[in-house]
Copies of this chain bind each other. A is one copy, B any other.
Amino acid sequence: MKLYTYYRSQASFRVRIALNLKGLQRQDIFLHLERGDQFAAEYRAINPQMVVPTLMDSGVKLFQSLAILEYLDEKYLEPPLLPADPQARAWVRGLALINAADSHPLIVPRVRNYLTQVLKVSDSERLAWIQHWLGAGLQAIEALLAENPASGYFCHGDRPTIADICVVTQVTPAKTFDCVLDPYPRVMRVYETCMAIPAFADAHPSKQPDAE
């Protein structure tokens, strides 16, 4: 498999974790998002949204990290990244989407650049924006973990799912951008549990060959 990736991309991080959990080998192709590699015509022809990741699996082109995770889970069955029961699957997917749909898209480079370049917001306003939206997601995930007896060291049951992957990609930028994490002990328990697993730790942005 070929992964078009950037070390700091949380969406790429999700896919790296899933590939590692499934024991799948990949070849990385690095794009530097801050330098604008994603806007090159060659990459735009591969990913018209001009974002990472894109995963190529034997000629099959895959985009959008959660769609890639679902694909990997359907095609490479072990270990499963979703529980078996529809109710539990919905809960896990809902948690994942709080990160992947309602938090992370608000803090990606293209949005941060728009805030700075078009709306001319100051550095401190931009940091407050990032902390606000990450915090809103963390608060919701913490409350949902608190009400679900199936959560604990992982979001659901005794092994990582798509939800845990997305908890990690919620907490990782929250650490980078100095969010206060004390109010989220359940979230942090999941994060610490996951980051002790090599599949997660090896996928961390700081461990990637293109890390600066």
Give A contacts to B, CB under 8 Å.
48-51, 60, 62-64, 66-68, 70-71, 74-75, 86-87, 89-91, 93-94, 96-98, 100-102, 105-106, 111, 114-115, 118-119, 121, 125, 128-129, 132, 136-137, 139-140, 143-144, 147
Contact = CB atoms under 8 A, between A and B. Distances in A.
A70 B50 CA distance: 26
A64 B114 CA distance: 26
Contact of A49 (B51, B140, B147): B140
Copies of this chain in the oligomer = 2
A64 B98 contact: yes
Given A64-B97, A70-B90, 14 more contacts: A48-B144, A67-B90, A70-B93, A71-B86, A74-B86, A101-B101, A101-B105, A102-B105, A105-B105, A114-B129, A114-B132, A118-B125, A118-B129, A119-B121
